[in-house]
């Protein structure tokens, strides 16, 4: 072996040894903006955060396992596991130079609590279940969603109102337009909304455009089990059709 080859081999072995012993804090530089890992422990390859803060949620007792091979392709693939007693979950996260690339095999259950999920109004309670095969991003914009989000036992504390349970399903068939355009961010993403029983009959759709703009539109009607106050609040949605359903629309941006 030549002297030059020996020097290169020793340098590679040294670099490999450094990476094997790299502390968990080294991974923090690769985190997207708005993501914070508090009290990191362990190594670069297998580590943990005492608390993981991400846009729209916060989790305690989060651990990770880093996959080595994707590093050669220019991105990080990390298996995440939350042991938070109030918010358990697992997912494979892919991070690229431009930020978050995708979430795969996302399974999570967490409380509807503004302290953890600021997307919900203050004073609401319930449980949120997430089961997604894939969520893909391009420059921070959502380009694909396949899976289901289920809100169970939605309720309002003051005044006390029980709204029931609902499912929002993003099926592979609804992503055809995105696949046809090569994942273009201007291709709309559509999820079907339905109730799972309870005081309100709800059907509709959530449409995401440009990866950030959303519109939730559908029909709602109070069932006989709805209390007088809840039935009255439904009337504010507007005039009823022949089946007693009233249309609603909510719009905004992520």
The per-residue pLDDT for range 149-159, each reduced to its tens digit, is 999 999 988 88
CB neighbour list of residue 135: distance below 8 Å, 6 or more residues apart: 102, 103, 106, 142, 144, 145, 146, 147
Interatomic CA distance for residues 58 and 38, integer angstroms: 11
Q: Give the predicted TM-score (pTM) of the model.
A: 0.79
Q: Is the dihedral of CA 212, 218, 221, 223 positive or negative?
A: negative
Task: Provide the residue ranges of all domains of the chain, joining segments of one domain with +.
Answer: 112-254
Distance between CA atoms of residues 73 and 206, nearest Å: 34
pLDDT above 80 for 214: yes
Identify the pLDDT of residue 26: 57
- pLDDT value for 44: 73
Q: Kindly give the residue spans of alpha helices, DSSP state H, lying in the chain.
A: 3-20, 176-180, 228-235
CA distance 152 to 168: 11
Tokens 């953890």 correspond to: 116
**What residues have CB less than 8 Å from 104, skipping those under 6 apart?**
91, 92, 93, 94, 133, 134
| 191/54 Cα distance (integer angstroms) | 23
- The answer, yes or no, to whether residue 11 has pLDDT greater than 80, is no
* Beta partners for residue 107, in sequence order: 90, 131
pLDDT in tens, 98-132: 667 889 999 999 888 766 676 777 888 999 999 99
Whether residue 226 contacts residue 238, with contact meaning beta carbons closer than 8 Å, is answered with: no
Question: In this structure, is the dihedral angle defined by the CA atoms of residues 77, 120, 60 and 41, taken in order, positive or negative?
Answer: positive
pLDDT of res. 29:
63
Q: How far apart are CA 116 and CA 154, in angstroms?
A: 16
The dihedral built from the CA positions of residue 16, 20, 22 and 26, taken in this order, carries a sign that is positive
Which of these ranges, 99-113, 126-140, 166-180, has the smallest mean pLDDT? 166-180
d(CA 157, CA 123): 5
Q: To the nearest whole percent, how much of the chain has pLDDT over 70?
A: 75
Distance separating alpha carbons of residues 204 and 219, to the nearest angstrom: 6
> Residues with Cβ < 8 Å from 129, sequence gap 6 or more?
108, 109, 148, 149, 150, 151, 152
Ordered DSSP codes for 91-125: EEEEEETTEEEEEEEEEEEEE--TTT-TTSPTTEE
Give the chain's mean pLDDT: 80
Higher pLDDT, 75 or 3: 75
pLDDT at 1: 52
């Amino acid at each position: 072996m030549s002297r030059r080859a020996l020097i290169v081999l020793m340098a590679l072995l040294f670099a490999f040894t450094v990476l094997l012993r790299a502390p968990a804090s080294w991974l923090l530089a690769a985190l997207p903006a708005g993501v914070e890992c508090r009290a990191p422990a362990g190594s670069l390859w297998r580590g943990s955060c005492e608390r993981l803060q991400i846009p729209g949620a916060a989790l305690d007792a989060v651990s990770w396992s880093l996959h080595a091979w994707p590093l050669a392709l220019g991105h990080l693939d990390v298996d995440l596991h939350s042991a938070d007693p109030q918010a358990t979950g697992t997912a494979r996260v892919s991070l690229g130079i431009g930020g978050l690339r995708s979430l795969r095999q996302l399974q999570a259950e967490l409380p509807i609590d503004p302290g953890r999920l600021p997307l919900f109004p203050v004073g609401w309670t319930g449980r949120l279940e997430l089961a997604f095969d894939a969520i893909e991003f391009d420059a921070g914009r959502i380009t694909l969603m396949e899976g289901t989000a289920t809100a169970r036992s939605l309720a309002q504390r003051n005044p006390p109102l029980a709204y029931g349970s609902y499912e929002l399903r993003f099926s592979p068939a609804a992503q055809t337009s995105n696949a046809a355009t090569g994942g273009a961010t201007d291709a709309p993403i559509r999820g079907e909304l339905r109730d799972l029983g309870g005081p309100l009959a709800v059907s509709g759709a959530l449409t995401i455009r440009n990866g950030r703009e959303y519109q939730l539109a559908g029909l709602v009607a109070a069932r006989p089990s709805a209390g007088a106050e809840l039935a009255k609040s439904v009337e504010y949605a507007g005039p009823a059709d022949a089946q007693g359903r009233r249309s609603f629309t909510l719009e905004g941006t992520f």
